[in-house]
Structure 1
Amino acid sequence: MDNSNICHGMPCWSELAAKDWTQAKQFYHAFFGWKMDDMPLPVGAYTMLSLQGTAIGALYPAEDDPCTPMLGWSTYFAVDDIHASLQAVQASGGVVRLGPHQVGSAGFMAQVADPEGAVFCLWQAKDHSGAVQGGGCHHLSWVELACKDADSCQHFYQQVLGWQCRTLMVNRQLYRAFSVSGKPVAGMLQMTSDWGDMPSHWMLYFQVADCDDSAAKATSLGATVCVSPTEIAKIGRFSVINDPQGATFSIVALDDKRLAQQ
């Protein structure tokens, strides 16, 4: 899959490691309307997710791989040279958890953790560039890091992914918005004591037309609403969901009129 809009430092793929592959496919097809295309592998299987012919990401059965380092949703960031990027990860205090591995003719992947332990993946594309963030309703809209030391984490990600940063206030909290060549790619916020002992983590946001209706639909399909639909000043409305197997993701309904005024 060729996608020239994706360059170094941009989110390029979303992937779910599910305990029950069949149940996960049923839930996400019913919730987002994603098309599922199973790709048999020598061990296990891999399901490509798409919507009206546009790539979304993938899911796979974690039980088929006892070495799976993390259940739930993961985000991938594109890199030009995965070996150089892994050196940057280690030099900046991060850890290489898995890889680098060649994935056929598609490209090369690695799973890493930042200095606070938040896990994400790197992808050097060959034949498969991935999926563009911000494709519209039921596509990935945003990725966001919740961390304990935002200054330190900002330095790490700028060293590894080359991000530019600007700060703004969102719901009376300092928020760091990152970009690549002027294109927004990710956000970061520093967790307060209200978060308790929750570890640092990446959150994936998928766009929906109506946050409240979608949260209710998720509940009807067996999911749990962790954060009720909440207003984000000048952005829209979001909610945090645990799918029926406990994988966490967020949904967001964007206010196009307010965004256009920014």
Structure 2
Amino acid sequence: MKKIDLGANMKTYIEGTFCWAELGSGDPAASTAFYTALFPWTTQITTMEDGRSYTVIQSQEQDVAAMYSLEEANQPSFWGCYIAVQDVGISAERAKSLGAEMLIPPRRIADKGSMCAFRDPTGAMVALWEAGEHPGSGVLHEPYSMDWHELYTTDLDAAAHFYMELLGWSMEEVPAPSGRYLQFKAGPDYAAGMKSIPSTMGDMRSGWGLYFKVPRCEEAVQHAVALGATVVIPPTSVPGVGKFATLQDPQGAFFSIQHGF
């Protein structure tokens, strides 16, 4: 398992680990107001090649994520996740051979790196990132940064097979009261979890979700609700581990928070 190493002062990512997140927003100003009030984030706005805005989100002067404006105003917002790979072209071809539907073919993003995006065979959208000057988030597993990624899927076994074949993940099954829960490693590092979409969620589509670490889960939920968010899963304890909650922001994007994990 190779490491993507971009210099002594930059974070390195093992291939197959999640390295970046982007919020696609139909109302970037409203999204910025919500997240900078909820978390101690600052923003730096730039412009993409097509003229739309691109906002880099920082915590303590470290890049943690980004936001871009959706082509159609007032579209429901959504968080997208990126996985680090060594060669995005090779990985994209492998994804297609394993049944993925390519949404954005491999493309170069100036000197920052190269990316592609696809739907996996169960319908979940995810992106791959081959680093250039930009390796991804400058901090992980710290308060107000990405802490975990989890796939809710319509076909647990098919999803597990796809990502293990694509990324070389190893798998372990974790006892859980709510049904099968799978955890995956990229080399020595835990990369993600997966579980089946419960019947109580009706016709929910497969999708990747991301968790941000917070100091106190209940306080963050109360703050989010005061700012206009909706609680999807209230603060829930995992015995001996920690507590998590899932929210929907006022522009429609789903995200989770957790502490203690």
Distance 2:148 2:249 in 1: 18
**2:11–2:139 contact (8 Å) kept in structure 1:** no
Q: In the alignment, is residue 161 of structure 1 matched against residue 167 of structure 2?
A: yes
Per-residue CA distance 1:94-147 (angstroms, 9 max, x = gap)? 111112111000011111110011001111111111016733111100000011
> Taking structure 2 as the reference length, what is the TM-score of the superposition?
0.91
The one-letter code sitting in structure 1 at the alignment partner of 2:88 is: I
Indicate the SS of the match to 2:13. Answer: coil
For the 8 Å contact 1:171–1:232, the answer to whether it is kept is no
What is the distance in 1 between the residues matched to 2:155 and 2:69?
34
Q: How big is each residue's C-alpha offset from its partner over 1:200-236, in whole Å with a ceiling of 9 and x where there is no partner?
A: 1101101111111110100111111111111123321
Which residue number corresponds to residue 16 of structure 2?
9
Q: Which residue number in structure 2 is paired with residue 44 of structure 1?
A: 52
CA shift for structure 1 position 152: 1.1
Are 2:158 and 1:146 aligned? no
**Aligned to 1:58, which of 62, 66, 69?**
66
- Match of residue 211, structure 2, among 189, 205, 216: 205
* 1:96-107 aligned within 5 A: 96-107=102-113
Matched AA of 1:76? Y
The residue that corresponds to 2:3 in the other structure is none
What is the DSSP-based 3-state SS (H/G/I as helix, E as strand, rest coil) of the residue aligned with 1:26?
helix
* CA deviation map 1:178-221 (0-9, x unaligned): 11111011001112322211111101101111111110100111
Q: Which residue of 2 aligns with 1:214?
A: 220
Contact 2:63/2:139, CA 8 A, preserved across alignment: no
Partner of 1:259: none
Q: Distance in 1 between matches of 2:190 and 2:205?
A: 25
Contact 2:62–2:138 (Cα < 8 Å) also in 1: no
Report SS of the residue matched to 2:129.
strand
Query: How far apart are the structure 2 equivalents of 1:233 and 1:146?
Result: 21
How many residue pairs match? The answer is 252
| Conservation of the 8 A alpha-carbon contact between 1:12 and 1:133 | no
Identity %: 32
- Give yes or no for contact 1:178–1:186 (8 Å, CA) kept in 2: yes
Moved more, 127-136 or 230-239: 127-136
1:248 equivalent to 2:257? Answer no
The C-alpha deviation readout for 1:153-177, integer Å capped at 9, x for no partner, is: 1110011111111111133522111
- The answer as to whether partners of 1:11 and 1:133 remain within 8 angstroms in 2 is no
Q: CA deviation at 1:7?
A: 2.1
Output the TM-score relative to the length of structure 1: 0.91
Helix, strand or coil at the partner of 1:173: coil
Assess if the C-alpha contact under 8 Å between 2:11 and 2:138 holds in 1. Answer: no
Consecutive unaligned residues of structure 1, counting only runs of 5 or more, are: 256-262
Asked whether the 8 Å contact 1:171–1:233 carries over to 2, the reply is no
